[in-house]
Amino acid sequence: MDKKQFTERLKKIDVKNKGVISLYNEISALAMELGLSSAGKASERNAYYLSMEFLIGRSFYNNLMELGVLEQTSEILAEKGIDINVFEEIEDAALGNGGLGRLAACFLDSAAGLGLPLHGYGIRYKYGLFKQAIKNGFQIELPDDWQRFGDPWSVRRENEKRTVIFADMSVTAVPYDMPVFGKRTNVLRLWQAEGSAEAQKISEYLYPADDTEEGKILRLRQEYFFSAAAVGELIEKHIKKHGRNFESFPQYNAIQLNDTHPVLSIIEFIRLLTADYKVNFSDALEIAKKTFSYTNHTVLPEALECWNADIVKKILPDIYALLIKIHLKQKDELTRLNCTREELADMAIYTSNGFSMANLALYVAKTVNGVAKLHTEILKQNLFKTAYKYYPGKFQNKTNGITQRRWLMLCNGELSVLLDETIGTGWRSDVSELGKLNGYIGQIAEEFVAVKAEKKKQLFKYIKQREGVDIPDNFLVYSQVKRLHEYKRQLMTAFAILEIYYGLKDGTIKNFAPSVFIFGAKSAPAYKRAKTIIKFINEIAAIVNEDEQTNGLLKVVFVCNYNVSYAEKIIAGSDVSLQVSTAGLEASGTGNMKFMMNGAVTCGTMDGANIEIVEYAGLENNYVFGATVEDISKLKKEGYEPLKYLADPKHGKAVKTLIDGTFEDGGTGSFKELYDSLTVGASWHKADNYFVLYDLESYVNALLKINGDYKDKNSFAEKQLKNVANSAYFSSDRTIKEYADEIWEISDAF
C-alpha cells in the first residue's frame, strides 16, 4: 500500500453510526497496513534495548505523522465532519513510570528516524501505570486498562511463542510486535505471559508492590521472564543464520541493559550457552562481555537492586548457581589484581544483602554509562568508584535526549511553523539546523510571544475542562511536572508558593506579574510522604485559588493523572521549567530538555542535564540557584542544621503551615510527619535530607527575578528563543548517534 492508496481507502470509510473507538481501530489498522508494507530489509548487525518500561504515550497521531499521512487524515476526516482531536479520548499506553521508560520510547523513535537498527524488548503489561484520581486532595490509584480501546498498533506473533521456565512453573511468553516507524521500521517486541493463573500474573501489572516477599518474587519473575525470552530468541536467531558459532554472536548483536532490571539476561545468556550448547563457562562469559552494555539511571541507594539469594535459589536455581560461579570468578580475578578486602566487598556480586545487579553489570558489561555529564562523573567518583578504578575503560557518558518529533513537531505545530518560516524546514530532518535560529532571535521575538500565547490558551482551555480551574490568558506559567519524589523537591515549590502568596497578601511583594504554578505528578502508591506532598499542594491550591485578594495574581493547579499526553500540552504552554532537585540526585532529567525545546527558561539547580542545558543556552538565559554538589557534600561534612532557617519569619510561616492548622490533612497526622522529616528527621534519615530549607530562599528569589524579567515581554521571549535555538544537542537523535557509534557500532547501511 502507498500513501495514495491509504488516502483513497480512508475516504471510503463510512463514519456514520461509528463510535470513536471503532473508527480509531479502523484508521489505525489502515495505517498499520501502510507502515508494514514498506518495512524494508533486515539488518545484519542489530542493537537491542532491553527495558522493563516503554512509556510510549499515544501512538495514533505520532504514527500517522511518522508515516507522513497525519495532515491528509485530518483533512479527510474534517470533510466527513470529524475533528481528528476526537481520538484524544483514546488513552495513552503507559507502560512505564517516568523518565527511564519515556527515554526508552524516545530512543526507539530516534533510531527509526535515523534508519538505525535498534529494537526494543519489554513486557506487555495488562495494566500500565495506574490512573490517578484525586479525592479530598489525596491521590487514589485506579487500574489502567489501556487495552479496552483495542490495540491496533500491535501484532500478536502466535508462532514465535517461547517458554520461560521457573523452578515451580513454566510460562508461555507470547510476543506482541509494535512497529516503530521512521526512515526504517524497527520493532518493539513486548512479551505477554500466558499459561496458569500464576503465570499470567507476571505480565499483569507494571511495578507490582514489592514491600512483601510475594511482591518481590513477582518482580524477580518479571525481570527474568522478559530477559530470558529476549536472549533465548536472539541466540536461536543467531544459530539459524550463523550456526553454532557463538564467538561471532557479538559481531551481530549488541544488547543494551536499561538500568539493572534486565541484568539477569546476562546470566541467562551464559546459562543457555553452557547448558544447552555446551560452550565452556569462561568462553560464554567472554562472549557476554562483548555483547552487553549497561546504563545506570539513578544514584539513589533504594533503587539499586539486590536480589535476596534465598529467593533466587528457590525460583531460579540454575541462575543462582551461575551467579555464585560468576561471583567467585570475579573475586578470583580481582584478588590477582591485589584488590583490597574493602574493594572486593564493594564490587562483590554476592553480598550479605544478596546479589547486586549493579555489580554484576559492572563486571560483565562492555560499557557502563551515566545519562548526563555530572551523573557519569558521580558514578566514577562516588557510586562506582572502585569499579572505575579497576575497569576505567568501560565508563562512558551518554547525555540523554528527547525526540523532537513528538516533543516539538507533534506537540507544538505552531512553533514548528514559525521555525519553518524563519530557518526553513531542514531542521525537521536534521535537528542540528535548529542552531540557525540564533541568527534571528531579535527578529522573531514578537511572533514567538504570539505562539506562546496561543499554546497557553489551548492549555488553559484544557485545564479548565479537566480540572475546572480558570486561568486568565495573560498569566505567566511556571511548571513542575515529573514523578513525585522528595529529592525532586515539589515540597520546596509548595513552600515558595506560600511565601509568594503571603508576600502578595501583606504587600511585601509588589508589581507581581500574574502567574500560575502547574504541578503534574504521580506518587508511588506506597510512598506515604510523597502522597502527603500531593495533599499539601492541593490544600494550598484550594486556599490560593479561592482568595479574592490575590487570585487575580496567583493561581495553583495540580493536574490530575499527569501522563505523556498531558505533558505534550503543559510543556508547549509553559514559560518556566522548574527543575529543582537536590544537586547530585537527578541523574539527568528529560522533561527539562522538552521544556527547553519549546522555549521555556529553566529555573533550576546545578544538577543532572540542567548543567548542560545552561551551558548550551547560556546562563544569562536561564535561572540557576541553590547548593551545588560541592556545597552539599561540604554541608554534610560540616553538619547541616535546617532548623536555623525557620528563624526567618518568611520561611518559618510557610513551613509551619504544616503544623499550625492552616491546612487540613484529613486527620491523618501526615502533615506533622512531613514537618518532622524536615526538622528532626526520621529513623532512617537526617532532618531535611534533601536540603529543602537550605535552598528555599534562593529559590524564591529566582522565581521573583523571573517574574520581574517577564515584564519585558520581548527580552524574555529572546531568552526563551535562545533555549529553542540551542536545544538540538538535547535531541535523542544526537544521543542515539553516540550510542550507535560508541557502543553498539551499528549503522544505517541496510
- Cα-based torsion angle of the residue sequence 627, 630, 634, 640 in order, rounded to the nearest 10 degrees: 30
Nearer to ligand 26V by Cβ, of 103 and 348: the residue is: 103
The one catalytic residue in 102, 380, 488, 651 is 488
Q: What is the closest distance, in whole angstroms, from the C-beta atom of residue 655 to ligand 26V in the complex?
A: 24
Q: Quick one: 101 or 175, whose CB is closer to ligand 26V?
A: 101
Q: Which of 131, 405, 456, 482 is catalytic?
A: 482
Catalytic residue among 483, 485, 535, 651: 483
Nearest Cα residue to 360 out of 376, 382, 384: 384
Would you say 415 or 585 has its CB closer to ligand 26V?
Answer: 585
Instruction: Show the cell assigned to 358.
Output: 549493579
594, 651, 719, 722: the active-site residue? 594
Q: Closest CB to ligand 26V among 53 and 575? A: 53
Residues contacting residue 666 through CB under 8 Å, at least 6 positions apart: 136, 137, 138, 535
- Cell matching residue 194: 500466558
**CB distance 725 to 438 below 8 Å:** yes
Secondary structure string (H, E, C) spanning 547-600: CCCCCCCEEEEEECCCCHHHHHHHHHCCCEEEECCCCCCCCCCCHHHHHHHCCC
* Residue 302 or 638 having the CB closest to ligand 26V: 302
- The contacts of residue 468 (CB under 8 Å, 6+ apart) are none
Nearer CB in complex with ligand 26V: 384/645: 384
Q: Which residue is nearest to ligand 26V (CB)?
A: 99
Name the residues that contact ligand 26V, by CB under 6 A.
98-100, 103, 259, 297-298, 300, 302-303, 371, 400, 586-590, 608
Task: State which H helix or E strand residue 54 sits in.
Answer: strand 54-57
Reduced to 3 states (helix: H, G, I; strand: E, B; else coil), residue 154 is coil
CA dist 284 and 279 (Å) reads 6
The upper half-sphere exposure of residue 154, i.e. CA atoms within 13 Å in the direction of its Cβ, equals: 21
Bridge partners of 256, per DSSP, are: 49, 293
Written as nine digits, the cell of 217 is: 518474587
Minimum CB–partner distance for residue 40 and ligand 26V (Å): 29
Q: One of 297, 366, 456, 719 is an active-site residue; which one?
A: 297
Q: Would residue 261 show up in a list of annotated catalytic residues for this protein?
A: no
Q: What is the CA radius of gyration of the chain?
A: 26
Q: Which residue's CB is nearer to ligand 26V, number 303 or number 417? A: 303
Which residues on adjacent β-strands are paired with residue 163? 172
Q: DSSP string spanning 351-390? A: ETTEEEHHHHHHHH-S-EEESSHHHHHHIIIIITHHHHHH
- Residue 297 is among the residues annotated as catalytic for this protein: yes
Specify whether the backbone of 503 is left (phi greater than 0), alpha (psi in -120 to 50) or beta: alpha
Taking the complex as a whole, the smallest distance from the CB of residue 488 to ligand 26V amounts, in Å, to 8
Shortest Å, Cβ 709 to ligand 26V: 27
Residue of 590, 602, 605, 657 with catalytic role: 590
Pairing of strands 186-194, 169-180: antiparallel
Give whichever of 52 and 272 is closer to ligand 26V, judged by the CB atom.
Answer: 52
Nearer to ligand 26V, 233 or 586 (CB): 586
Best CA proximity match to 23, nearest among 85, 66, 68, 67: 85
- Calpha distance 730→714 (Å, rounded): 25
Backbone dihedral angles phi then psi of residue 218, each to the nearest 5 degrees: -65, -45
Angle among Cα 64, 1, 416 to the nearest 5 degrees reads 25
Q: In the complex with ligand 26V, which residue's Cβ is closer, 99 or 175? A: 99
CB of 174 to ligand 26V, least distance (A): 27
Annotation says 483 is catalytic: yes
In Å, what is the CA distance from 132 to each residue of 1, 531, 561? 40, 12, 5
- The least distance separating ligand 26V from the CB of residue 630, rounded to whole angstroms, comes to 20
CB of 317 to ligand 26V, least distance (A): 27
Annotated active-site residue 535? The verdict is: no
Rounded to a whole number of angstroms, the minimum distance from the CB of residue 377 to ligand 26V is 15
DSSP structural state of residue 407: I
Task: State how far the Cα of 294 lies from the Cα of 377, in Å rounded to an integer.
Answer: 16
The H or E element that residue 313 is part of is helix 309-315
Residue 405 annotated among the catalytic residues of the structure: no
Q: How far is CA 509 from CA 455, 540, 570, 704, in A?
A: 28, 18, 27, 9
Cell of 304: 539499586
Residue 466 falls in the annotated catalytic set? no
Catalytic residue IDs:
297, 482-483, 488, 590, 594
